[in-house]
Amino acid sequence: MLEILWALGAFIITLGILVTFHEFGHFWVARRCGVKVLTFSVGFGKPLWQRQAADGTSYQIGMIPLGGYVRMLDARVDDVSPEEWPQSFNAQPVGKRMAIVAAGPIANFVLAIGVLWLMLVIGVPSVKPIIGKVAHQSVAAEAGVTAPAEVLAVNGKETRDWQEVNMALVSAIGDDKAELQIRDLADRHESSKRYQLDLSQWEFDEQQSTFGSLGIQPYQSEVTTEIGYVAPDSPAEQAGLQENDKIVGVDGTLNPDWSRIRERIAAAAGDTLVFDLVRNNEQLQIPVAIGEREFNGETIGFLGIETKVMPYPEEYRFTHQYGLLGGLWEGTTRTWDLMVLSVKMIGKLVTGDVSVRNLSGPVSIAEGAGTTASYGLVYFLGFLALISVNLGIINLLPLPILDGGHLVFFVIEWIRGKPVSERVQEISYRIGGALIFALMVVAIGNDITRLSL
């Protein structure tokens, strides 16, 4: 329950920031163009908070935190006196109206640059993209990729950490192939090689990372067989297992690694296993009655210990950190890369190269917001920038009811010298609304499907 509340709170904060900046873009440019703003609202529905400013603008927070709006004086819906006519939206030249409408998405891009700049100035702890294992009969294995190795680039784009590898491979979803530039760590003198991944049969599973679905597993520190923690009242404690005991055998199988020990325990629910241990340089044999617990509808064995993990190599760690100007340039570059990636993925959705199953709705966004917020500020800022860019790009789609649809009408008006008829606009808004609603149904359906897995 606490986890759900945390995700919900992070979602509301994320959406509140995104909507506020988006609507402020419209608001700020409208004011600069001399248009009177009647209402600036974050959220829809009945106001939870409202304040009337001296200039007549009403600022409010709505009950439903799923968007917002800026209501401007408009003679098409308001009674406008001759004195107020120059301040109405529809009285403005088409260029000013285009600027007002485009300002919302642009504000989202500016927000992304700002939060990425802050994130990079603070510094983002990262690890190099070191391949620890390659799954058998996977796409990567078929291409000849081996481990240990470092991924230097994907399709010619430098990859400094696993996030950059993931983003580069996301861009390749729907393509027939992808090129990895890899340096073999087993041979320090060998230069990097290029491997061609055959993606024609690649089925990307949105439940895991792109590189994971290709059979590439990041390097992980070795998990030892030395006990680091014994849970109170667990089968291990009741049998007398202690911290710093080293497991050297289970039921006659000597020197197993931790993964094999864990599998043996899981398969022995309700049975007794004999553990060979080394304690203070003494050999011991201790029988343990394995406990039982339910996991995903199955009964598995339970011991109640955690083993020690070897330290992660320092040479694989680094921090993405820049100065004030360097961070601004890098933040702008990353925002542009996200914009290009978003446009590319939308294009692949339209052509069918990417399945609509990859669409995410509010539940996935809430889950992502909660997860990144729990990791720390810098990770939440990265997530906020990603969603802000996506919101800006989506709003620029040439669909009536979105900012992009309004811009299309204004371009047509600029070319023809007169506005599109209200009847055509009304029909277009209905079609656009139906399309947006259908996409939301698909996205929410995908969220529900992911939750049930």
Instruction: Tell me which residues are annotated as active site.
Output: 23
Distance CA 323, CA 117 (A): 9
Give CA angle at 312 (117, 374), nearest 5°: 45
DSSP one-letter code for 311: P
DSSP one-letter code for 108: H
Residue in 318, 350, 367, 351 with CA at minimum distance from that of residue 439:
350
Residue 39's φ and ψ, nearest 5 degrees, are -140, 135
Contact of 62 with 46, CB cutoff 8 Å: yes
Burial class of 27 by CB neighbour count within 10 A (0 to 12, 13 to 18, 19+): buried
What residues are paired with 284 via a beta bridge? 277
Contact of 146 with 130, CB cutoff 8 Å: no
Cβ-proximal residues to 26 (8 Å cutoff; 6+ apart), any chain:
70, 100, 101, 103, 104, 107
Distance CA 423, CA 95 (A): 23
